[in-house]
Amino acid sequence: MKPLCCLIALVTAFLLHLNSAAAEPLEVNMALNPTVIQDTAYEAFSEDDLSALRMGVDLRFEVANLGGFKLLPLVGWRIATDEGYPYQATNTALMLNDLFLGLRVRKGILSWLGVFIEAQGGLVWVDIQGNSDVDMYGALGQRQDYQDNRLTWSAGGHAGIELQIPKSWLRKRNVRKFNFGGELSAGYIRRGEIDFQPKLENGPDNAIQANTQPWGNLNISGWTIQIAANFRFF
């Protein structure tokens, strides 16, 4: 996890340096991403079936304006946590940390409305935990704690609309260094398939058995919606 945090810090510092050199507005995007996971094995980690909620932040700035189409590179981070209770025998927990780079293409329609399309790709750190007091025959036994983590890749994109306060309205109120808006979009995120082989923490290493847990391979790809608040600093 430490290398991933270091990478986040380095990429963020690089983008802030580029933004300072370009003297363009810095945008901070606070986002919620409800996601529907397509792999039914995800039900082992979720009490609400295949839905997962991601949240996080993006930093982006404008680098070019090509005939009204604005190009904005970005760095983003998302975190998601979920818990399940498969077969009423085991408690499970899953945590995702997504770090990605991307490019947004924006087109203004009105002073307060725009449309955009965005592509992104990066790395995903996945951590799972599980514990059970029930053995493979359904009898109570010694508590068993399992843990595993994996690093995989991600790629995806989404398209939607952006809203902002009209600049003319802000100028009349002597607000020139800040703007606020929101966005709504939909898209798809693809992640590399993960082969979990959890270790038994209070005993010898052991993979969770297939007849008690559907853990093995897991694909955490799915369709996603983004609801976000945008803060722009000039």
Can you give the pLDDT at residue 204? 46
Going from N- to C-terminal start, the domains of the chain cover 2-233
Contacts of residue 167, Cβ cutoff 8 Å, sequence gap at least 6: 111, 179
Q: Is 110 exposed, middle or buried (0-12, 13-18, 19+ CB in 10 A)?
A: exposed
**Which range (23-37, 83-97, 163-177) has the least confidence?**
83-97
Residues in the chain: 234
Q: How far apart are CA 29 and CA 228, in angstroms?
A: 6
Give pLDDT, residue 12.
Answer: 59
Which residue has tokens 């058995």? Answer: 209
**Once rounded to an integer, what is the mean pLDDT over residues 71-90?**
86
Was domain 2-233 assigned CATH 2.40.430.10?
A: no
pLDDT tens column, 122-172: 999 999 888 775 555 445 555 677 788 889 999 999 999 999 999 888 888
pLDDT class of 83 with cuts at 50, 70, 90: confident
